[in-house]
Structure formats: C-alpha cells, structure tokens
Structure 1
Amino acid sequence: MSIDYLIKITIPMLQGAQMTVLLFFIAIIASIPLGFLITLMAKSSNRGLAAIAHTYIYVMRGTPLLLQLLFICFGLPLLPVVGEYLVMDRFVAACVGFILNYAAYFAEIFRGGLLAIDKGQYEAAQVLGFSKWQTTRKIILPQMFRVALPAVANESITLVKDTALLYAVAVPELLHFAQTAVNRDFTIMPFFVAGVIYLLMTLLLTLFFKWLERRSKFE
C-alpha cells in the first residue's frame, strides 16, 4: 500500500470529516441548552409541561436515532396538508434530528445532576437570603454542571460516532467517502483510515473534557 494511495483516499475523507465536525458542533451547541430547558419543564410544578417533557424524553430515547432521521428526512414531507412545508435539505434535516434526539439524553443527564445536589443547599441559600434566581445561578447550576460533566463528555463522544448515520440519509460525510473508496478499489484500507480519523476526533474531545473536569475542580 503506497503513501500516494493513502494520501489519495485520505484527502476526500478529511473533506467529509468537515461535515462530521460541522454537524457535531451544531448538534452540541443547540441540544445542550434545549436539554436543560426540557429538564426544567420536567421538574415544573405545571403537570401539563412536565408530562410533555417526560413524554418527549421517553419517545426520543426509546426510538432509534436512525429511525428519527429517516422520519424527518423522508417521512415529514409525506404528511398530509403540511408535508410540503416540511421538506428540508438533507443536512438541515439531519441536524434537526440530532438536536432533538440528543436534547432528550442531555435532559436526563441534567436531571441526574440536579438530583445529586443535596436539598440542604437550597435551605442554606434561603437562610442566607438568596433569591430563587440567585440560588439557581450561583449555587445549583455550577454544581449541577460539575456533576453532569463526565456524562456530558461520554454523550458528546457518542455523538461524534453517531454522525456516521449521515451516510444513511445520503449526506456525504466521512464514512460516505470511505465506502466509496472501498467499493472503487476493492480494499478495506479506507475503513482503517476512517477509523483513525474518528479516533483522532474522539481523542481531541476526550482531552478537552478532561481539561474541563480538571478546571472545574479548582473553581
């Protein structure tokens, strides 16, 4: 296997990896705040809001991400009356699917983080004269994110790997170019190269979250 061949197959895969990275950042930036909002809804005293949040989490976590992507990409346009208004670019549809799916997982992570905080923290803040907003912003949220950080890191790494599902909805990403090279050249080497690229991306992400964890311990 020549170096020239490795360069030849790696260049298009790196181009595909740009789509992978773009999807990752869009999904992570949008799904984390959405997940926190869903957590607040699930803990709301309003039973209607809480029921909607719990149902959403159950449905999104209980069905495969691939099924959700296929439904958003190919199912929504088939809906009567409104279907024609729900036609989206494949990449946009994939982003919507990833955001909605991962928001449900992050909502459960944040809920676990809130449950890990001792109730005495709320009582102490009340004794000190903190308002509900001050208690949440200065005491509860920092502790919640510190507790939830390892789970957020694991879920983020899973998100990097799940971006390979773009292949199923015909978005040309890393795996698409690897499969194209395998079919064209009758060699599995492109799969190994793709695997190395995924490993490098997850390594960078792992190092980033380890740095965040170390930093959070000193705050």
Structure 2
Amino acid sequence: MHPTGGSPIGSKGERQGLARPEEELGREPRADPLKGASGGPSERKMLLLTRVVWLLALCAVALVTASDREFPRLIVPNELFLRVGGTHINRSPFSPSPHGTGCPRIVSRQQWGARPPKSRVPLRTPVPYVILHHTERNRCYSETICSQQVRAIQDNHMDKRGLADISYNFLIGEDGRVYEGRGWRTKGAHTKVFNSRSLGLAFLGTFSKTKPSVATLNLTKRLIQCAISKGILSPNYTLIRG
C-alpha cells in the first residue's frame, strides 16, 4: 500500500487516472495538425498527399529517362506512335499485319546457341506494356549472322553487365526471324521500372537515324498479336519506345 493509503504510483488504476498536462493547466488539448475539426483529412494533409503523388510521378519519369542512357533510343515510323510527355507510346494495339496474324517463326535459344541463364524470375502475365529497343549493332540479314549477334549480346549482358541472361524477351532480325531471348514467361532486364510489367523486344541493328524495314515492322506486329493470342500481353496494351 502507498503511505497515504492510495494505490501504488505505478499501478494500472493510477496510470489510467493521470491527467494530461493540458488538463492540469486548464487548457484545451492540442489539436492534431493533420486532422480537421471532424477528424477527417485536413487541407494540409491533402496538400501533403498531392506533393507525394507529384514526387512519385517525377521519380518515375526520371527512371525511364535514365534507362535511355543504358539502352539507346530508336527511330520508328511516326504514325505508329503518339508523343506524350517526351515518351513515344501507342495507346492502341498495332493494326493487324497484312501478312497474317499467326505467330511468326521464333528461333529458339537452343537453335541460336544460348548459354543457360544464371537464374530466372517468372513474369506475371498478362502484362500491360510492350517496350521496343534496338541493339545498336550492325543489321543482320541471315540466321547465321543474326544468331552470332544474339550470342554476342548475351555474352555482353551476362559477362560485362552482370545480368542473369540476355536482357530482352525477344529480338527481331532483318532476316525475317524472331529470336527467343528470355521468352514469354521470364521477367526481362531491359528497363529500370517496367521489367515486371512488360515484354522487351529489340530490333537487331542500329536504328537511331534510320527505321527498321517494313517487313521487320510487320514481323513485330505479328509477334505482338501472337503475345495477345497466348494471353501473355493484355489486348489493351501500351507500346513504349525504349
């Protein structure tokens, strides 16, 4: 027992009965600066939330811009893209290829002589984005030369960049063939922020001043339609120029 007959100072009963400092001094309790009179979000809280949203948007733009320095930008026909915020995107799918909508021939990893990947992360599908890149190398016009280029790109990505595999999901040659990179169901490593939500396609060659051939673009259309038919790509996808 306490000397005065009350409960011990540390007891639960007295702790519950202690007055707040504001009450002891006869003042109103301090208001929470992030709450209004009714306890809902105040103007200050909404302003803070707005600033956070803008900051996140600016960070996303900065990361996408940074990816351009790692993977060089390419030129594609203007009619395929709309310029939005400095990024070329097409908010509607490619129109169907005049040469058919079936899946194009894909040269498998085994056929072009791929090394086994160090590791792989499954890609959750369907994804909402297709990102187009180019490899900034010479164009190739035969399966033999294109396969050599794809092997060289894989060696560069794995040995010099420290990646687990070639970074792209598929590569597209001027020889009329598609080359399997990480494939349909493995997460790529071709952008800073969209890898888990996209397919990365790369044109074999340098297209910073010239465009891929019409045949190559038609082949790309067929590959994208193939991805939709397999349930890998959302029908309402967004196309982004990497």
Q: TM-score, normalised by structure 1?
A: 0.27
Structure showing greater radius of gyration is 2
The structure with the largest strand share of the pair is 2
